[in-house]
Amino acid sequence: MGEGTLAADNNKDAAKFSPGPASSYPAKQTNDHVTVAAVAYDTEELAHTAFGKLNPNQYGVLPVLVIIQNDTDQALKLEHLDVEYTGVDGRRVEATPADEVQTLGGTERPNIQTTTNPLPRLHKHKNPLAVWEIDGRSFAAKLLPPHESANGFFYFQTTHRPGSKFYLTGVKVAATGQDIFYFEIPLENPK
């Protein structure tokens, strides 16, 4: 398979994952005409819709899809978002950057086999989290024009429990720097 075919396959896969508008999700909050929806991708079925064969939950990583809909007449700055997952026990977990997530699955020790040769041979394990979808589907928008939306995943090193909450702050009106009120969204299991 050539590189052109691989790139075409990645673009085809990217087109398959298309979240709906923020208003279409049950777990959402609207402040000052900005709607934020959040969905914990905690089931194998949900994970496969975004990450193909990979289920990040198997490696201790909870992907949370976030959709931000700007229904204002002003652009919003999203470059300094602060996100947090708070479990039912009150434990707070900060998001892990996508590039760090891609190294988490590679922490297992190499399998060393000895032969009659005095030098051991190392068999490296491929890191299962080092796939383009982790970084390619992460939330990356820095500016959100009026009447548009942006989406992507934030990653948390935790296991999801119903009743947990997702917090988001740092959305600002681009022209004035005014903060939009924070968002606190309960994360329930999708029905």
- Low pLDDT (below 50) residues in the chain: 1-15, 106-115, 122-123, 191
Q: What per-residue confidence (pLDDT) applies to 120?
A: 55
Task: Give burial (CB, 10 Å; 0-12/13-18/19+) of 1.
Answer: exposed
d(C-alpha 8, C-alpha 64), whole Å: 26
Q: What per-residue confidence (pLDDT) applies to 104?
A: 79
pTM: 0.81
Per-residue pLDDT tens over the stretch 88-138: 999 999 999 998 998 876 444 344 444 455 555 544 557 788 888 999 999
Q: What per-residue confidence (pLDDT) applies to 128?
A: 82
> What is the set of domains in the chain, with CATH numbers?
23-103+130-187 (2.60.40.1230)
